[in-house]
Amino acid sequence: MLYHVFMDVKIPRDLPAEEAAEIIAREKAYSQDLQRSGKWRHIWRVAGQYANISIFDVRDNAELHEILSGLPLFPFMDIKVTPLLRHPSAVREDDS
Amino acid sequence: MLYHVFMDVKIPRDLPAEEAAEIIAREKAYSQDLQRSGKWRHIWRVAGQYANISIFDVRDNAELHEILSGLPLFPFMDIKVTPLLRHPSAVREDDS
Amino acid sequence: MLYHVFMDVKIPRDLPAEEAAEIIAREKAYSQDLQRSGKWRHIWRVAGQYANISIFDVRDNAELHEILSGLPLFPFMDIKVTPLLRHPSAVREDDS
Amino acid sequence: MLYHVFMDVKIPRDLPAEEAAEIIAREKAYSQDLQRSGKWRHIWRVAGQYANISIFDVRDNAELHEILSGLPLFPFMDIKVTPLLRHPSAVREDDS
Amino acid sequence: MLYHVFMDVKIPRDLPAEEAAEIIAREKAYSQDLQRSGKWRHIWRVAGQYANISIFDVRDNAELHEILSGLPLFPFMDIKVTPLLRHPSAVREDDS
Amino acid sequence: MLYHVFMDVKIPRDLPAEEAAEIIAREKAYSQDLQRSGKWRHIWRVAGQYANISIFDVRDNAELHEILSGLPLFPFMDIKVTPLLRHPSAVREDDS
Amino acid sequence: MLYHVFMDVKIPRDLPAEEAAEIIAREKAYSQDLQRSGKWRHIWRVAGQYANISIFDVRDNAELHEILSGLPLFPFMDIKVTPLLRHPSAVREDDS
Amino acid sequence: MLYHVFMDVKIPRDLPAEEAAEIIAREKAYSQDLQRSGKWRHIWRVAGQYANISIFDVRDNAELHEILSGLPLFPFMDIKVTPLLRHPSAVREDDS
Amino acid sequence: MLYHVFMDVKIPRDLPAEEAAEIIAREKAYSQDLQRSGKWRHIWRVAGQYANISIFDVRDNAELHEILSGLPLFPFMDIKVTPLLRHPSAVREDDS
Amino acid sequence: MLYHVFMDVKIPRDLPAEEAAEIIAREKAYSQDLQRSGKWRHIWRVAGQYANISIFDVRDNAELHEILSGLPLFPFMDIKVTPLLRHPSAVREDDS
């Protein structure tokens, strides 16, 4: 089941640079593991912003929340979830 | 080059049903042609709304505008464009 | 799987009274069938508004959309969907 | 009498971790006591957010305020209250 | 129990003048009956707007909704309800 | 002359508890003096919020500002003023 | 006593041109009479909009409302009122 | 040439009181000099807010910006500029 | 003197197609005359919208308003004006 | 390819003055290099605000993001990107 997720990152200025770097590195690994598993299906950078738009393919709302609330950057993100479904005009097999 | 496009459809009540049906049929064909060509890369329905979220892969801003303003439903849509790019954590080859 | 749905109804003034009454009667039957089936788990009126707040328990995003877009009042509603999940502090067995 | 309450939690970064954990533990106990008493009728987590949607069944506005302003997390929450009533199409006995 | 209600009136231009006048006259009588009964405790005009701010003193959410949805101008109003309670600093006996 | 005032209080976390308590005590005395003088005609708590809705009866805009800017909690409040007048349907003598 | 008033005019397209012209002529005469009396102290056009920003000097909220609700264009305006007072740094005698 | 300027002041709590007082004193002198020169034509306090509404009469956009960015309180203000011109119904000679 | 102007066009559906075409043709001629005169310095289409972003170089606010209110599409546009000036980092001679 | 970029700068008060000055100097050099290269085609100051409106002419979304995220002031800016294209009424050769 698909979800559209917008993530806007605001890292506080008083977070020590090393701690920030370590969190960002963990975030990358966490994201790439989920991408390889197929659960984090797409991720794109929004031009001009420290933000991304992602598509998740998970079992249900609970699994989505478990993944999002486990993001190393979760405490520093504004997140907006939009549930998606197959569009009646879609031709691509895997857009659902 | 990738763009995120949100399309919200509001068909006016006084549009004759036949005319609406004909426009919607043309919209579907128009969309599917562009999907098959690879320019309209993804399209999903937003749950509970007469709206879609799409990803376009086009040459430039001008081509995107040409496609969107040519939509049969264009006069009845609110459209919001967000330019995207490859995310540094992306693993999928074709997310750029 | 649970969803929170806010439905705001705006029936256009030029809808003939009989047609409106017929649509509202169908809406009530449609809603009550789904409530009895367990899919439309709760429905409350918002004080002072022609609006309701509902909780749906459905298989997935697609089934939710099928139900909502099938509402007889769907063309006259603004709908906002919020995906829910079991809260870690919940004690009631069926709040998930 | 029923109320819909949306609670959005923002725990400040400079709250010591132990103090935060202690507040969250008290919040859970406080909530579960009220759930068992029947006053806090439902609580659900909002997917992707540190937020919940709850239904309260209390005597009046004053009791609702007493409960909400007594929440251990109250100083760290944005709260929005919507008064509810039985919907004319409701079939479930206890949705009022 | 007290509620703060903001009512913004927008009478459509195509409502025949006689029909509008008749509705407004019924609205006035309806309001004054409720004011005399004590349920519609205060009503003030907002300067520069066809709008009022009112305080209702009713049994519960359901009675408030019954009163508001019975307003002759209800179909032409945007209504916003805010539940109130006695303020801990209030000195006036009847502000609760 | 009447004014509707909405006051939303946000006491900063780093204000020492004693200082906050002293300010709140002064606020209460200040408010009650003005209530007894008849200038602060009504005050109600908004359910679920550290906020109040008040009605002032003062000589003019300048007196209203003098009162509001003199509130001990003024530096910690968002204030919104709405000028009121007697409603043509009002029956209560003192709602003007 | 001074008030800042923003008036945004939206004349409906289906208002016959002669009727619109007659209303606008009456509006101009009405405004100029009040300007000459000193009650409508200033009026400026907002660049690029069919809107004005005005300063009124009237006895009280009620007189302001009487003037504004008597505007020939009142049914076609969105109006926002902001109560003003003398600024402590003002040097001009008549800015109060 | 005339401009409408709304200035909302938010002095940070951690600004030392003496420094704040000194800035406010400089602001007052700066404003009064410009008022006497005729460039800062009007200034009014907004009731209930630490904000003002002003009218400037300056040569061009650049001079307006030079004046505003030179305000001692500029770093602590939200400023909104609206360009004005003579209204066709204005009777007062100097409202342009 | 420079102004940034955003123009959003909404042509009503009930405007006869010939009348719309004639207005759009006049708009184009009007715009191109002003572009050639140097007063309408830039015009760009916003991707995916029937809207443009323009830069005007005119004598003052009054001339800007005269030009904008004379646009054949003016009654069908939402217009937002932002006054500009030379940026201290600008290198291009004519960006002021 | 053209983009409209709005940049709103908020330098935190606790940034040491020297560090701020050094960042601003680097920002100016960075901007001027890009202006001379033709990629940062226009930059204007917004009157009354620490903000600018710019036009970029770059290869694609990715190059725009690389430039914007490399701005020395990037961590202190709110940035909004709007993709542009040649307007059908444009006469100036280089507005595309």
Quick: pLDDT tens for F69-89: 999 999 999 999 999 999 999
Of B12, B64, B75, the CB nearest to I47: B64
Alpha carbons G76 and G27: distance in angstroms, whole number: 12
Average pLDDT over residues J7-17: 95
Of I5, I12, I75, the CB nearest to G48: I5
- Say whether E87 and F2 touch across the interface (CB within 8 A): no
Residues of chain G contacting I64 with CB distance shorter than 8 Å: 47-48
Residue G16 pLDDT level (bands cut at 50, 70, 90): very high
Q: In this structure, what token pair is assigned to residue H26? A: 């400089």
Of B12, B62, B79, the CB nearest to I49: B79
The shortest C-alpha distance from E64 to chain D (Å) reads 10
pLDDT at D96: 75
Give the dihedral sign, CA G45/G49/G55/G60.
Answer: positive
Residue A50, domain member (yes or no): yes
Hey, which bits of B10-76 come out as E strands?
A: 40-46, 51-57
pLDDT at F93: 84
State whether residue B95 is helix, strand or coil: coil
Of C12, C64, C75, the CB nearest to B48: C64
Q: In this structure, what token pair is assigned to residue D92? A: 């479930």
| G62: nearest CA partner in chain F | F85
Q: Does residue I40 carry a pLDDT above 90?
A: yes
Q: Does residue D81 carry a pLDDT above 90?
A: yes
Contacts for A1 with CB less than 8 Å, ≥ 6 apart: A57, A58, A59, A60, A83, A85, C60, C61, C62
Subunits with 3+ Cβ pairs within 8 Å of C are: A, B, D, E
pLDDT at D95: 79
What are F's interface residues with G at a Cβ cutoff of 8 A? 1-3, 60-62, 64-65, 81, 83-86
Q: For testing the chain E interface, which of F45, F60, F73 should be mutated: the one with the most E CBs within 10 Å? A: F45
The shortest C-alpha distance from A45 to chain B (Å) reads 5
Cβ–Cβ under 8 Å, residues E29 and E72: no
| H51: nearest CA partner in chain G | G87
| I47: nearest CA partner in chain B | B65
Of E13, E45, E49, the CB nearest to G79: E49
For the stretch B2-42, pLDDT in tens is 999 999 999 999 999 999 999 999 999 999 999 999 999 99
Tell me how crowded residue H28 is: count the other CB atoms within 10 A of its CB.
Answer: 15
Residue A72 pLDDT level (bands cut at 50, 70, 90): very high
Of C43, C48, C83, the CB nearest to D47: C83
Q: H/E element holding B63?
A: helix B61-69
pLDDT at H96: 75
Residue A70 burial (C-beta neighbours within 10 Å; 0-12, 13-18, 19+): exposed
pLDDT at D62: 98
Subunits with 3+ Cβ pairs within 8 Å of E are: C, D, F, G
Q: Does residue J13 carry a pLDDT above 80?
A: yes
Chain-wide mean pLDDT for chain H?
Answer: 96
For the stretch F29-69, pLDDT in tens is 999 999 999 999 999 999 999 999 999 999 999 999 999 99
Q: H/E element holding E58?
A: none
Alpha carbons F34 and C68: distance in angstroms, whole number: 53
What are E's interface residues with G at a Cβ cutoff of 8 A? 13, 45, 47-50
- Touch between chain D and chain H: 3 or more Cβ pairs under 8 Å: no
| B11: nearest CA partner in chain I | I13
Q: How far is C-alpha B22 from the chain's CA centre?
A: 18
**Residue J82 φ/ψ region, left for φ over 0, alpha for ψ in the -120 to 50 degree band, beta for the rest:** beta
Chain-wide mean pLDDT for chain J?
Answer: 96
Average pLDDT over residues G27-55: 98
- Say whether B48 and C5 touch across the interface (CB within 8 A): yes
Q: Does residue I70 carry a pLDDT above 90?
A: yes
pLDDT at I96: 75
Tell me how crowded residue C16 is: count the other CB atoms within 10 A of its CB.
Answer: 8
The shortest C-alpha distance from G19 to chain F (Å) reads 29
Contacts for D23 with CB less than 8 Å, ≥ 6 apart: D15, D72, D73
Residue J15, domain member (yes or no): yes
Count of G-H CB contacts under 8 Å: 97
Hey, which bits of chain B come out as E strands?
A: 2-9, 40-46, 51-57, 77-86
**Cα radius of gyration rounded to whole Å, chain C:** 14
- Say whether D45 and C4 touch across the interface (CB within 8 A): no
- Say whether E89 and F27 touch across the interface (CB within 8 A): yes
Residue J41, domain member (yes or no): yes
Count of C-E CB contacts under 8 Å: 21
Residue J30, domain member (yes or no): yes
Average pLDDT over residues I56-67: 98
pLDDT at F95: 80
Residue H64 pLDDT level (bands cut at 50, 70, 90): very high
Subunits with 3+ Cβ pairs within 8 Å of G are: E, F, H, I
pLDDT at C66: 98
Q: H/E element holding E20?
A: helix E17-37
Average pLDDT over residues A69-88: 98
pLDDT at H6: 98
Q: Does residue I94 carry a pLDDT above 90?
A: no
> What are the start-end ranges of the H helices in chain H?
17-37, 61-69
Alpha carbons E27 and E21: distance in angstroms, whole number: 10
Alpha carbons B11 and B15: distance in angstroms, whole number: 7
Residue H90, domain member (yes or no): no
- Transcribe G13-38 into DSSP letters: TTS-HHHHHHHHHHHHHHHHHHHHHT
What are C's interface residues with D at a Cβ cutoff of 8 A? 2, 4, 27-28, 31-32, 35-36, 41-48, 52-53, 55, 82-92, 95-96
pLDDT at E78: 97
Q: H/E element holding J22?
A: helix J17-37
What angle is formed at CA B1 by the lines to CA A91 and CA B5, rounded to 5 degrees? 60
Tell me how crowded residue F84 is: count the other CB atoms within 10 A of its CB.
Answer: 25
Subunits with 3+ Cβ pairs within 8 Å of A are: B, C, D, J
Q: Does residue H94 carry a pLDDT above 90?
A: no
Residue J49, domain member (yes or no): yes
The stretches in chain C having pLDDT less than 70 are none
Q: For testing the chain H interface, which of G54, G87, G94, G96 should be mutated: the one with the most H CBs within 10 Å? A: G87
Residues of chain G contacting I62 with CB distance shorter than 8 Å: 47
Average pLDDT over residues B44-69: 98
Number of domains in chain E: 1
Residues of chain H contacting F12 with CB distance shorter than 8 Å: 13
Of B35, B88, B91, the CB nearest to A91: B35
Nearest to A71 by CA among D50, G94, C87: D50
Q: In this structure, what token pair is assigned to residue J7? A: 């940049």
Residue E9 pLDDT level (bands cut at 50, 70, 90): very high
- Say whether B62 and J81 touch across the interface (CB within 8 A): no
**Residue A24 φ/ψ region, left for φ over 0, alpha for ψ in the -120 to 50 degree band, beta for the rest:** alpha
Q: H/E element holding C55?
A: strand C51-57
Q: In this structure, what token pair is assigned to residue I7? A: 């123009």
Residue J95 pLDDT level (bands cut at 50, 70, 90): confident
Residues of chain F contacting D81 with CB distance shorter than 8 Å: 47-49
pLDDT at E88: 96
Residue G94, domain member (yes or no): no
Cβ–Cβ under 8 Å, residues D7 and D64: no
Of C32, C86, C87, the CB nearest to D89: C32
Alpha carbons J96 and J92: distance in angstroms, whole number: 9
Of E12, E65, E75, the CB nearest to C47: E65
Tell me how crowded residue C37 is: count the other CB atoms within 10 A of its CB.
Answer: 9
- Say whether J68 and A45 touch across the interface (CB within 8 A): no
Alpha carbons A59 and A52: distance in angstroms, whole number: 22
Residue G94 pLDDT level (bands cut at 50, 70, 90): confident
Q: In this structure, what token pair is assigned to residue H19? A: 């420094």
Subunits with 3+ Cβ pairs within 8 Å of D are: A, C, E, F
Cβ–Cβ under 8 Å, residues G79 and G68: yes
- Say whether D43 and C90 touch across the interface (CB within 8 A): yes
For the stretch J69-88, pLDDT in tens is 999 999 999 999 999 999 99
- Touch between chain F and chain B: 3 or more Cβ pairs under 8 Å: no
Alpha carbons E64 and E26: distance in angstroms, whole number: 19
Cβ–Cβ under 8 Å, residues G54 and G9: no
Subunits with 3+ Cβ pairs within 8 Å of H are: F, G, I, J
Q: For tokens 């400089």, name the residue.
A: H26
**Residue I38 φ/ψ region, left for φ over 0, alpha for ψ in the -120 to 50 degree band, beta for the rest:** left
Q: Does residue A40 carry a pLDDT above 80?
A: yes
Share above pLDDT 70 across residues of chain E, in percent, rounded to a whole number: 100
Cβ–Cβ under 8 Å, residues J3 and J83: yes
- Say whether D91 and C46 touch across the interface (CB within 8 A): no
Nearest to E80 by CA among E2, E6, E8: E6
Chain-wide mean pLDDT for chain D?
Answer: 96
Residues of chain H contacting G2 with CB distance shorter than 8 Å: 44
The full 3-state SS of A21-70, as one line of letters, equals: HHHHHHHHHHHHHHHHHCCEEEEEEECCCCEEEEEEECCCHHHHHHHHHC
Alpha carbons I91 and J13: distance in angstroms, whole number: 29
Residue B96 pLDDT level (bands cut at 50, 70, 90): confident
Cβ–Cβ under 8 Å, residues F47 and D64: yes
Q: What is the pTM of this model?
A: 0.96
Residues of chain J contacting A49 with CB distance shorter than 8 Å: 79, 81
Q: In this structure, what token pair is assigned to residue A91? A: 């031709």
pLDDT at G96: 74
What's the CATH number where G40 sits? Answer: 3.30.70.1060
| F8: nearest CA partner in chain D | D78
pLDDT at I91: 95
- Touch between chain E and chain H: 3 or more Cβ pairs under 8 Å: no
Q: What are phi and psi of D94, to 5 degrees?
A: -95, 15
Residue I91, domain member (yes or no): no
Q: Which domain holds residue G61?
A: 2-84
Alpha carbons E46 and G3: distance in angstroms, whole number: 14
The shortest C-alpha distance from D80 to chain F (Å) reads 7
For the stretch H7-45, pLDDT in tens is 999 999 999 999 999 999 999 999 999 999 999 999 999
pLDDT at H12: 95
| H58: nearest CA partner in chain I | I60
Of J12, J75, J81, the CB nearest to A48: J81
Q: State how far the alpha carbon of A5 is from the alpha carbons of A65, E18, E88, J82, in Å.
A: 11, 52, 43, 21
pLDDT at D93: 84
| C65: nearest CA partner in chain A | A85
